[in-house]
Chains A and B, each alone.
Chain A
Amino acid sequence: MMYDMNRRDFLKKSGAGLAAGIASSLWFDLLAHGKIPSLSSGLFEERFGVSPEDMRKILEIALSKGGEFSELFFEYRILNSVRMEEDIIKDSSENVSLGVGIRVLKGLQTGYGYTDDLSFEKMKQTALTAAAIAAGMSGVSVAKLQENKLKTQTYDMMSPFADVNLASKVELVKEAYNAAKSYDGRITKVQASLVDEIQYVTIANSEGLLISDVRPQVRLVATATAQDKGIRNTGNGNAGGRVGLGFYKNTLTPTQIGKRAGEEAITLLSAVDPPAGEQPVVLGSFQSGVMVHEAVGHPFEADGNRKKTSIFWDKMGTQVANPTVTIYDDPTIPNLRGSLNIDDEGTIPKKTMLIEKGKLVGYLQDRLSAKLMGMEMNGHGRRQSYQNNPIPRMANTVLAPGDATPEDVIKSVKKGFFAETYQGGEVNDSGKFTFSVNKGYLIEDGKLTKPVKNATLIGTNVQILNEVEMIANDTQFFLGTCGKDGQSAPVTAGTPTLKLRQMTVGGRK
Chain B
Amino acid sequence: MKNDNLIKAAENLVAFGRKKGADQIEVSIGEGNEFSLDVRQGEVERLVEAGSKGLSLRLFVAGKMARASSSDLSKETLEKLVENAIERAKLSSADPFAGLPEKEAITADTDKLKMWDPAILEMSPEMKIAAAKKTEKICLSEPRVKKCFGASYGTYTGETFLVSSNGFTGSYKRTACSSGVYLQAGEEPNLFDEGWGDSSRILANLESPEEIAAKAIHRVTRLIGAKKVETQNVPVVVESPMTAGLLSFLFNCINGTSIYLKQSFLEGKIGEIIGSDLVTVTDDGLIPGAAGTKPFDGEGVPTRKTVVIENGILKSYLMDTYSAKKLGMKSTGNSSGPNNFYLAAGTSKPEDIIKSVDKGLFLTGTIGFGMVPTTGDISRGAFGLWIEKGELAYPVAEITISGNLGQLLKGIEMVGDDVKFKDSITGPTIKVAEMTIGGK
Contacts and interface: CB of A to CB of B under 8 A. Distances in A.
A277 B84 contact: no
Contact of B49 (A113, A426, A507): A113
Contact of B368 (A132, A426, A509): A426
B436 A508 contact: yes
Interface string B63-94: 00111111111001101110111011101111
Interface in A429-481: 429-436, 453-456, 458-460, 462
A90 B70 contact: no
A448 B146 CA distance: 44
B2 interface: no
A288 interface: no
**Of listed B231, B377, B380, B401, residue having the most chain A CB within 10 A:** B231
A26 interface: yes
A188 to B, nearest CB: 6
B195 to A, nearest CB: 11
B147 interface: yes
B46 A509 contact: no
Interface in B80-132: 80-81, 83-85, 87-89, 91-95, 98
Nearest to B53: A116
Given A112-B48, A311-B189, A455-B379, A96 B368 contact: no
Nearest to B73: A116
Chain A contact-residue range equals 35 or more
B71 A96 contact: yes
Interface string A465-509: 000000000000000000000000000000000000000111111
A129 interface: yes
A307 interface: yes
Interface stretch (A103-111, A252-260, A334-342): A103-111
Nearest to B182: A429
Nearest to B78: A96
A456 B399 CA distance: 10
B263 interface: yes
A77 to B, nearest CB: 9
A22 B87 contact: yes
B52 A19 contact: no
Nearest to B194: A428
B43 A108 contact: yes
A129 B66 contact: no
Contact of B374 (A24, A233, A276, A427): A233
A210 B67 CA distance: 35
B4 interface: no
Contact of A508 (B46, B53, B402): B402
B375 interface: yes
Nearest to A276: B438
Contacts of A234: 263, 372, 374
B369 A436 contact: yes
Contacts of B46: 109-112, 389
Interface in B237-280: 261-263, 265
Contacts of A387: 50, 52
Nearest to A110: B46
B223 to A, nearest CB: 10
Q: Quick one: which of A15, A92, A278, A425 has the most chain B CB within 10 A?
A: A92
A333 interface: no
Contacts of B311: none
Contact of A114 (B52, B189, B191, B369): B52
Contact of A506 (B65, B192, B400): B400
A88 interface: yes
B225 interface: no
Contact of B263 (A112, A189, A307): A189
Given A12-B76, A112-B46, A225-B374, A509 B440 contact: no
A96 B231 contact: no
A99 B372 contact: no
B204 interface: no
Contacts of B40: 108, 307
Nearest to B147: A309
Interface of A: 11-12, 15-16, 19, 22-24, 26, 85-86, 88-99, 108-116, 126, 129-130, 132-133, 166-167, 170, 188-189, 191, 225, 227, 231-234, 276-278, 307-309, 311, 387, 389, 423-436, 453-456, 458-460, 462, 504-509
Given A188-B262, A426-B367, A454-B379, 10 more contacts: A19-B84, A26-B81, A95-B68, A114-B50, A276-B402, A276-B436, A308-B147, A429-B193, A504-B228, A507-B400
The 8 closest A-B pairs by CB, nearest first: A506-B400, A434-B381, A434-B368, A506-B438, A436-B370, A424-B369, A88-B93, A430-B191
29 contacts: A16-B83, A89-B91, A89-B92, A92-B89, A94-B66, A94-B67, A94-B68, A94-B88, A95-B69, A96-B68, A112-B47, A115-B52, A116-B53, A133-B47, A191-B261, A225-B262, A231-B375, A232-B374, A234-B263, A278-B440, A426-B368, A454-B370, A456-B368, A458-B368, A507-B379, A507-B436, A507-B438, A508-B379, A509-B436
